[in-house]
Amino acid sequence: MPQELTIALDAMGGDNAPACVLRGAAMALVRFPGVRFQIFGDERQIAPLLEQVSMLKPRSEIIHTDQFIRGDDKPSAAVRQGKQSSMRLAIDAVKEGRAHGVVSAGNTGALMAMSKIVLRTLAGINRPAIAALFPTMRGESVMLDLGANVECDAQDLLNFAIMGDAFARAVLGLSHPKLGILNVGSEDEKGHEEVKGAALKLRECGLDLNFHGFIEGMDIAQGLVDVVVTDGFTGNVALKTAEGTARLIRTYLRDAFNSSPVAKLGAFFAQGALATVKEKLDDRKRNGAMFLGLNGIVVKSHGSADAYSFCNAIGVAVELASHNINQKILQEIKLSSASGEPVANAS
């Protein structure tokens, strides 16, 4: 890490807050000993827990507040009425330069709405996107948008490609990530106007991007590309469909291995092998969805995250902050608009 990083934590967001937030932070400190934390939330709950993870104590500061955003709060209400909430104060810390990024396991809609209002979008970006990693035959890839924007035009998709490229460089350490646009076929004439327009823009934007072309749903898990670009509706459905399918197959396997004494014997001998598969499919490893396109690093942890899972979300924030991802995105956006492509407000 080029500098000492401070991460703001919304200690009150998610099903297992604040305990898993603090234990996750302690785990993250083992991986990133130079990180400091600002912990936003109810000091009466946080202080005793901090005593239990004593290594975390000297590296963190509690900023007390009584106000929290609940999981079922409407984003608009959270923005209006939650100005003293742990989530909002944590975002404010990024805005005011006191923290290099924020991590929350709270209400996704509220986190996005507050982040947009407080941090604003990067110059040239109309809409922020949610990006996350998923497992493939070749390792891991990035997909975006995963649900921030249910409707996107060609320009939005071009911007997502630029942001996904920067994300893959920072988090996956790739020097020249391969980009693909999710579509219903790989041929140029397939799909709606938005994807066709985005493909054209990507080919003509003048940036040194490794654009593969259109990919299909089947190609996501194959790892055909490193960055899957799509609108938030399709991306959300694709991600959750993949999760649901993995869950279905796990259930099939569990039932099958419990179906007879011989099958149980097989499961006994295969337990090491099955544990490897389980580990590969473990979503906790890939916890931490980044809100890309904002003037600041905002990472959303799964609401049901345990400590290990939350630690990984902190890891994403640290990687992105230490790679100065937003500077890289700004540079690329500027280059793409210099090449004659209007960037913001184009459609």
Q: How far is the CB of 329 from a copy of itself (least distance, A)?
A: 24
Q: How far is the CB of 48 from a copy of itself (least distance, A)?
A: 36
The type of residue at 263 is A
Max Cα distance, the chain (Å): 68
Sign of CA dihedral 158, 162, 167, 173: positive
> Which of 217/303 has CB closer to a copy of itself?
217
> Which of 147/296 has CB closer to a copy of itself?
147
Sheet holding 139-144, edge to edge: 60-64, 36-41, 6-10, 101-104, 298-300, 289-292, 129-136, 139-144, 227-229, 178-182, 210-215
> Which of 59/196 has CB closer to a copy of itself?
196
Q: How far is the CB of 291 from a copy of itself (least distance, A)?
A: 16
Q: Contact between 89 and a copy of itself (CB under 8 A)?
A: no
Q: Contact between 137 and a copy of itself (CB under 8 A)?
A: yes
Task: Single out the residue of 3, 260, 339, 347 in contact with a copy of itself (rule: CB under 8 A).
Answer: 260
* Footprint (CB under 8 A) of a copy of itself, residues 219-238: 219-222, 230, 232-234, 236-238
| Contacting residues for 282 by C-beta, under 8 A, at least 6 apart | none
- Tell me, what DSSP letter sits at residue 212? E
| Residue 281, number of CB atoms within 10 A of its CB | 15
* Footprint (CB under 8 A) of a copy of itself, residues 266-305: 266-274, 276-277, 280-281
* Footprint (CB under 8 A) of a copy of itself, residues 25-54: none
Burial class of 97 by CB neighbour count within 10 A (0 to 12, 13 to 18, 19+): exposed
Q: Contact between 339 and a copy of itself (CB under 8 A)?
A: no
Task: Single out the residue of 21, 27, 182, 321 in contact with a copy of itself (rule: CB under 8 A).
Answer: 182
Q: Contact between 216 and a copy of itself (CB under 8 A)?
A: yes
Task: Single out the residue of 147, 177, 288, 296 in contact with a copy of itself (rule: CB under 8 A).
Answer: 147
Calpha distance 328→295 (Å, rounded): 12
> Which of 283/341 has CB closer to a copy of itself?
283
Calpha distance 21→26 (Å, rounded): 9
Which three-class secondary structure state does DSSP give residue 96?
Answer: coil
Phi, psi at residue 198, to the nearest 5°?
-65, -40
Phi, psi at residue 150, to the nearest 5°?
-75, -20
Q: Contact between 327 and a copy of itself (CB under 8 A)?
A: no
Which three-class secondary structure state does DSSP give residue 142?
Answer: strand
| Piece of the chain touching a copy of itself by CB under 8 A; list 44-52, 147-155, 166-174, 323-331 | 147-155
Query: Tokens standing for 174?
Result: 């790739």
- How many residues belong to the site for a copy of itself (CB under 8 A)? 58
Residues in contact with a copy of itself, shown as a per-residue x/- string from 235 to 254 under the rule CB under 8 A: -xxxxxxxxxxxxxx-xxx-
Binding site for a copy of itself (CB under 8 A): 135-137, 147, 150-151, 182, 184, 191-192, 216-222, 230, 232-234, 236-249, 251-253, 256-257, 259-260, 262-263, 265-274, 276-277, 280-281
